[in-house]
Amino acid sequence: MTDHAVDVAIIGAGTAGLTARRAATKAGASVLIIDPGPYGTTCARVGCMPSKLLIAAADAAWHSKQAGVFGVDTQVHVDGERVMQRVQAERNRFTGFVIRAIDELREQGILLKGRAHFTGPNTLAIDDGSTVKARSVVIATGSRPFVPPPFRTLSSPVLLTTDQVFELPTLPESVFVVGAGVIGMELGQAMHRLGVRTTIASIGGRIAFIGSKDINAVAVAIFKQELDLHVNYQLHQVDALADGSGARVHFTDDDGKDRTETYTHVLMGAGRSPNWEGLKLAATGLPLDQRGRPEVNPYTNQVCDSHIFVAGDVAGHRPLLHEAADEGRMAGKNAATWPDIAAEPRKAPLGIMFTDPQVAAVGRPWDQLRCDNYRVGVVDYSDQGRARVMHQNKGQVRIAGEAGTGTLVAAQMIGPRVEHTAHLLAWAIQGNMRVGEALRMPFYHPVIEEGIRTALRDLQGHLYLARKPGAPCEEFGPGT
């Protein structure tokens, strides 16, 4: 048994935990990170990087097949083994950088391999029998794939989560994707474009994080043109096949058709759950909600006024890599200087789904806006110049601005390359830019960015128009 005493103990060696370590060390604190592995961060190992590698392969196949519209005829053959070999090789390269950094921390005595739980407000027990006493603690335990109850009767290798899908030796023959969130849509479309028979099924009618009912309707219509997508399906039964070769799924699709189909795999795309289990938070004496979780201040990452801080996916604020890094830095710095802590403003919210067309949400949540105070400008990409040139003329962008000032506050987007235009709007929103200021910025021709100029012009034309009393307000509001 070994006893450790440090200024800051960090539970978790993902993006948030490693960033917290750097910030706490920079502030002069002694630090110990505790994590059982596997190492490499969620993003690099099972998240954003391997998924983008799979999407890149899918895009190459798809656009080659679509090249005939340009007078370019091609023959495409997808080699599933080679696709997965590249995904895994490049994924291993990305995680290798992190693992080398982890090894250095272990050699320096900064990282302890094991699982930790609280035994008191300032004490932790590790499953190797050692103990840690810390002046403050950062919880950065991340998240794990969520499996809805009806599918928990299935097991690997038929049941796939992001922890397993990127380990496949080749592409599956068929897959039933549960969930139309970012994970489900990205992986589902990629699988389809690589020749895998794919069904994507979800409930609630909404795709991913889209808050605008108008953009959501456009998105559903676009994706249904290509995919076997059902956003309001009813699941009746799911069973593993007796020979272990797959699963039988009985459901009613969006068209009301009763379907019973077999798939070699069922892929979980229903989101992720924060990793609070096993920490024994009751021992901290902190107030916990009915789920046994604490309330975390998003501007300090502090729990109440205590010495405990929470960062990254486990906090549940914005489960994205750049947000996890920001939260880790804030939590690590505040943990090191506690009880002297500082609040920081959050960056403009920015979410991107790397489907084709891409989807993005920027700024304030759409359902927090109201017609009395905000106006909207719209551009439809069906006839946008550069989009037509690329034969990617599908989608719509809606940009919201404050009626009285013209300040840009939010955008909902589906269209070609909106990962780039979303960044421009995020910078403008974070800088409190007004629509007139944005329109005075340069727009080259012909570029996709001209599309958001069209939406900005449309917004400017509506800003100072009063809404008629009693007129219907369908642009914003709960459920839009």
Q: Mean pLDDT over residues 264-274, rounded?
A: 95
Average pLDDT, stretch 393-400? 97
Q: Do 254 and 191 share a domain, yes or no?
A: yes
In a domain, 78, yes or no: no
- Give exposure, 209-222, as e/b (b: 16+ Cβ within 10 Å): bbbbbbbbebbbeb
Please name which of 256, 378, 307 lies closest in space to residue 138, comparing C-alpha atoms.
Answer: 307
Position 434 in a domain: yes
DSSP per position, 376-438:
EEEEEGGG-HHHHHTT----EEEEEEETTT-BEEEEEEEETTHHHHHHHHHHHHHTT-BHHHH
pLDDT band at 470 (very low <50, low <70, confident <90, very high): low
Share of the chain above pLDDT 90, in %: 91
Question: Crossing angle of helices 450-462/418-430, nearest 10°?
Answer: 40
pLDDT digit string, tens, across residues 171-208: 999 999 999 999 999 999 999 999 999 999 999 999 99
Task: Kindly tell me if the per-residue pLDDT of 219 is higher than 90.
Answer: yes
Same domain for 394 and 327: no
Residue 204 maps to a domain: yes
Determine the Cα–Cα distance for residues 62 and 76; give it in Å rounded to an integer.
9
Its domain, for residue 286, covers 3-36+114-144+273-337
One domain for residues 262 and 279:
no
pLDDT digits (tens, 9 = 90+) for 404-430: 899 999 999 999 999 999 999 999 999
Q: Are residues 230 and 119 in the same domain?
A: no
Contact in structure between 193 and 58 (CB atoms under 8 Å) = yes
Tell me, yes or no, whether 56 lies in a domain.
no
> What is the rounded average pLDDT for all residues in the chain?
94
**Per-residue model confidence (pLDDT) at position 468:** 60
pLDDT tens digits, one per residue of 17-47: 999 999 999 999 999 999 999 998 999 888 9
CATH code, 15: 3.50.50.60
How many domains are contained in the chain?
Answer: 3
405 domain residue, yes or no: yes
Helices and strands in the chain, H and E counts = 12, 22
pLDDT of residue 194: 98
Q: Calculate mean pLDDT across residues 332-348.
A: 96
CATH number at residue 421: 3.30.390.30
Q: Are residues 315 and 453 in the same domain?
A: no
Grade residue 253 by pLDDT with cuts at 50, 70 and 90.
Answer: very high
Q: Cβ distance 22 to 64 under 8 Å?
A: no
Give domain status of residue 316, yes or no: yes
